[in-house]
A = this chain, B = another copy of it.
């Protein structure tokens, strides 16, 4: 019985001759047909990166056999591998506070089919966006956070995310610093949107900092959350021209368009398994 499924394999390992030949040989020998292949060699780090998509239509291995059968190859080349299937939709949790633009943008993409994921829940530290969640019929979980209850509330959040088998957390303008426990639970699987072109204007109120400095360009950056605030691997950035005529209020308003499109694009690449992290930088196979 032919499958219409598609497999995606992300690899990185030390660079050496024959890697592409070996991996494509594995696919070829099991009747897989490569749909997309991208590789990158970081010659400074002597590191090899590859992304492979192949059709499982005539593939002679079952989906759940593939990983094991790749092991000898992986061991031989000291490969880090990540295998996934188009048929397995990622389960995403959206974290929000009060601003609606990233939330609505992602929900609209989801509804139109442009974002092929499941969104089983929304987490918020304010009630503001409950009506928005309810409009789209997505369960809204309110976790008010104070200095005192923060760790406790995060533990409850983690528990909820586990129950819901959440794969990836998206901080869609969630105005809280994430604690180490959450970061450890979702390594390189928490996406944030920071409202500046990092590394400029780290921390709070970046538009105010930008206005103060008198920059002629503002930006937004989506990155994976790591233990160092605003220092995680950058997935995507974009910018917009501004001028002396724009007040701080204008920058905030204009920047929202950047924030929502930058976050959505980073999430798209993440969901399509197009992002590899290596030494705090990303390889994005666009």
Contact = CB atoms under 8 A, between A and B. Distances in A.
Interface stretch (A76-84, A117-125, A157-165, A213-221): A213-221
A238 B217 contact: yes
Contacts of A32: 17
Given A215-B198, A217-B238, A237-B217, A31 B17 contact: yes
Interface stretch (A36-44, A67-75, A144-152, A184-192): A36-44
Interface stretch (A1-9, A85-93, A100-108, A175-183): A100-108
Contacts of A257: 261, 264
Interface string A12-43: 00000110110011011001111111111111
A284 interface: yes
A83 to B, nearest CB: 19
A200 B132 CA distance: 36
B33 A28 contact: no
A105 B33 CA distance: 39
Contacts of A234: 213-216
**Which interface class (under 10, 10 to 19, 20 to 34, 35 or more) fits A?**
35 or more
Nearest to A98: B112
Interface string A40-62: 11111000000000000000000
Given A108-B100, A114-B256, A199 B201 contact: yes
B100 A112 contact: yes
Contacts of A42: 244
A39 B40 contact: no
Contacts of A198: 200, 213, 215
A216 B286 CA distance: 12
Contacts of A280: 214
Interface string A273-286: 00000001111101
Contacts of A247: 43-44
Given A38-B39, A244-B281, 12 more contacts: A17-B33, A35-B41, A35-B43, A38-B38, A100-B108, A101-B108, A104-B105, A104-B108, A105-B105, A199-B200, A214-B280, A217-B237
